[in-house]
């Protein structure tokens, strides 16, 4: 009896089938039928495999567009399309304000008068007589700068002796300093610390800048040590920042990767940021576990945690609520960031321009209303937010309707899932005037540490990470309260030298007002 392979190789003319016996004919048609079934299955397999490859290519291209935009696209997420409200507001803008003189624009800057006089009095062009000073002047103003200067202070502490018995000598005590015996003054330590953690200039560059001003070969390593001294000295104020954020009803949270270059087994660390409108607090940890947020929430009085949809925050809130339930305390509610939801649709816009545009336009109107709410009286905020409800309902209806028509793995499918799954947390701010629309305030506070991470690549020790957390926290808190960090550190150090309690930037603002 022939096998299937032998049958394939043998061509049987149709006219000669009658030469085969009945058994051979039956076997022949069975083999032919099996062969056709097998061929059909192979065709179906290859069609399915081809479709799978096409889908994978589709998803890869989709992800490529998202990644390309992250690296090479515009950093702003502002939509190019302007709403009618935006265009009307631009038309109503007032005329350009006349440029002010420097003395009016910068009233706190010292004003130095410079008189420009002639050494030889000029003759009159009419009669030839010698002119006199009329007392009138033609005035103009311009800004100038005096380059930074470095000085060495020779401190001479006087000694006092008894002129009667000559039995005792008393030396004048040294003025208090951040670090006794250091080669650098308090002012120098503050300048180095704020140049790095406020102006984001690396210590090596600071050393080169000082060299161009005449201070050659200033060792960067010793300057780095001064930042540790400054952080240790002001840690009391940093600890009070943590107390401030745990007392707030609404708490923002976010985290970003950090590189530990040496000094620990783990190189991938994380900078955790927590904030309120007046306080910024940072901590560095070698984990992204939600335990970090959970530990802080256990001590917190907050009722709302504003964050992105990261499982670590959900876990922290869940664990904190279990403890609160035992104590009969109110639960913490998650408030999710609308900027992240909008960003999902922006990422899908290149691949699905027409489908994503509706959601981007709706969010554009929502954010326009939010800007009007922020600029208007506080008692009108909820009125503007109620106007946002129809936009959210329209997005929800369309997302539910269109969700089934897209792959869950596509960028638009993921945007739909993100929006629908977290709809309640995304819209919770509509019911509470104290809640923000997004977590952008916390993300802005992470900007300086992220730029610093890119500039000096990371930290070389755990002590360096702690120093960065302390100084970044105090500096960013100064920015939130719109006070000069240099004035704050100057006053704080003076108070600490006088054995007074440390104070936070928010407390300093109250002292100054």
The per-residue pLDDT for range 377-421, each reduced to its tens digit, is 878 899 999 999 999 999 999 999 988 888 888 889 999 999 999
- 47 confidence band (pLDDT: 50, 70, 90): confident
- 353 confidence band (pLDDT: 50, 70, 90): confident
Q: Which candidate, 384, 361, 385, 394, places its Cα nearest to that of 82?
A: 361
Does residue 69 surpass a pLDDT of 80? no
Does residue 59 surpass a pLDDT of 80? no
What does DSSP say about strands 333-336 and 304-307: parallel, antiparallel, or unpaired?
Answer: parallel
Average pLDDT of span 205-215: 93
Task: Give whole-number Cα distances, 348 to 119, 274, 321, in Å.
Answer: 73, 30, 36
Does residue 78 surpass a pLDDT of 80? no
Q: Name which of 2-11, 78-87, 472-481 the model is least confident about.
A: 2-11
- 501 confidence band (pLDDT: 50, 70, 90): very high
Does residue 45 surpass a pLDDT of 80? no
> At how many degrees (to 10) do helices 485-497 and 462-480 cross?
110
Q: What is the pLDDT of residues 237-266, one digit of tens each?
A: 999 999 999 999 999 999 999 999 988 889
Q: Which residues contact 104 (CB under 8 A, 6 or more apart)?
A: none
Does residue 11 surpass a pLDDT of 60? no
- 91 confidence band (pLDDT: 50, 70, 90): low
Task: Please answer whether residues 245 and 251 qualify as being in contact, where contact means their C-beta atoms are separated by less than 8 angstroms.
Answer: yes
Task: Give whole-number Cα distances, 162 to 86, 158, 170, 385, in Å.
Answer: 82, 14, 9, 79
- 102 confidence band (pLDDT: 50, 70, 90): confident
Q: What is the pLDDT of residues 266-285, one digit of tens each?
A: 999 999 999 999 999 999 99
Q: Which candidate, 297, 341, 338, 343, places its Cα nearest to that of 321?
A: 297
Q: Which residues contact 232 (CB under 8 A, 6 or more apart)?
A: none
Q: Mean pLDDT score of the chain, rounded to an integer?
A: 87
Give SS3 for 257: strand
Task: Give whole-number Cα distances, 197 to 103, 107, 503, in Å.
Answer: 30, 27, 19
Token readout for 486 is 């240099």
- 203 confidence band (pLDDT: 50, 70, 90): very high
Token readout for 174 is 């040294």
Does residue 66 surpass a pLDDT of 60? no
Give SS3 for 185: coil
| pLDDT of 7 | 46
Question: What is d(CA 157, CA 34) in angstroms, rounded to the nearest whole number?
Answer: 108
Task: Please answer whether residues 199 and 478 qualify as being in contact, where contact means their C-beta atoms are separated by less than 8 angstroms.
Answer: no
| pLDDT of 404 | 85
- Threshold 0.85, pTM exceeds: no
Average pLDDT of span 472-481: 97
Q: What is the pLDDT of residues 281-338, one digit of tens each?
A: 999 999 999 999 999 999 999 999 999 999 999 999 999 999 999 999 999 999 999 9
Q: Which candidate, 306, 401, 310, 408, places its Cα nearest to that of 359?
A: 401
| pLDDT of 83 | 47
The full set of domain ranges for the chain reads 1-37, 186-238+449-495+505-509, 338-433
| pLDDT of 85 | 52
Average pLDDT of span 154-166: 91
């Amino acid at each position: 009896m022939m096998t299937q392979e032998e049958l394939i190789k043998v061509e049987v003319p149709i006219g000669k089938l009658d030469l085969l016996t009945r058994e051979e004919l039956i076997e022949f048609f069975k083999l032919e039928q099996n062969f056709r079934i097998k061929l059909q299955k192979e065709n179906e397999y290859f069609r399915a495999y081809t479709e799978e490859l096409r889908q994978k290519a589709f998803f890869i291209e989709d992800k490529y567009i998202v990644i390309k935009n992250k690296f090479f696209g515009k950093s702003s997420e502002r939509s190019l399309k302007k709403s009618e409200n935006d265009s009307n507001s631009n038309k109503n803008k007032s005329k350009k304000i006349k440029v002010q003189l420097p003395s009016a624009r910068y009233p706190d800057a010292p004003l130095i008068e410079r008189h420009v006089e002639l050494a030889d009095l000029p003759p009159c062009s009419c009669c030839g007589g010698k002119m006199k000073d009329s007392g009138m002047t033609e005035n103009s103003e311009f800004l100038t700068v005096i380059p930074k200067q470095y000085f060495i202070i020779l401190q001479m502490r006087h000694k006092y002796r008894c002129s009667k018995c000559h039995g005792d000598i008393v030396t004048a005590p040294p003025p208090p300093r951040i670090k006794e015996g250091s080669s650098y003054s308090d002012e120098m330590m503050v300048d180095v610390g704020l140049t790095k953690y406020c102006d984001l200039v690396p210590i090596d560059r600071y050393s080169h800048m000082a060299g161009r001003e005449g201070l050659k070969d200033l060792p960067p390593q010793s300057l780095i040590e001064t930042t540790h001294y400054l952080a240790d000295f002001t840690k009391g104020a940093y600890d009070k920042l943590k107390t401030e954020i745990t007392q707030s009803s609404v708490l923002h949270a976010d985290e970003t990767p950090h590189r530990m270059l040496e000094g620990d087994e783990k190189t991938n660390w994380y900078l955790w940021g927590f904030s309120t409108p007046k306080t910024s607090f940072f901590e560095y940890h070698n984990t992204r576990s939600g335990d970090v947020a959970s530990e802080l929430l256990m001590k917190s009085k907050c009722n709302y945690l504003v964050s992105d949809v990261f499982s670590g925050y959900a876990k922290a809130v869940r664990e904190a609520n279990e403890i609160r339930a035992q104590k009969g305390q109110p639960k913490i509610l998650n408030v999710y960031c609308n900027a992240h939801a909008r960003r999902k649709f922006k990422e899908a816009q290149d691949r699905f321009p027409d489908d994503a545009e509706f959601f981007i336009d709706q969010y554009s109107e929502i954010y326009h209303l939010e800007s009007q709410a922020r600029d208007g009286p506080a008692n009108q905020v909820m009125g503007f937010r109620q106007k946002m409800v129809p936009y959210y309902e329209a997005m929800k209806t369309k997302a539910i309707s269109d969700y089934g028509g897209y792959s869950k793995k596509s960028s638009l499918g993921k945007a739909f899932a993100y929006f629908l799954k977290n709809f309640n947390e995304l819209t919770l701010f509509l019911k509470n005037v104290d809640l923000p629309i997004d977590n952008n305030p916390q993300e802005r506070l992470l900007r300086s540490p992220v730029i610093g991470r890119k500039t000096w690549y990371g930290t070389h020790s755990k002590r360096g990470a702690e120093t960065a957390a302390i100084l970044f926290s105090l500096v960013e808190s100064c920015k939130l309260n719109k006070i000069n960090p240099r004035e704050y550190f100057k006053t704080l150090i003076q108070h600490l030298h006088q054995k007074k309690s440390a104070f936070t930037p928010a407390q300093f603002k109250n002292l100054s007002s």
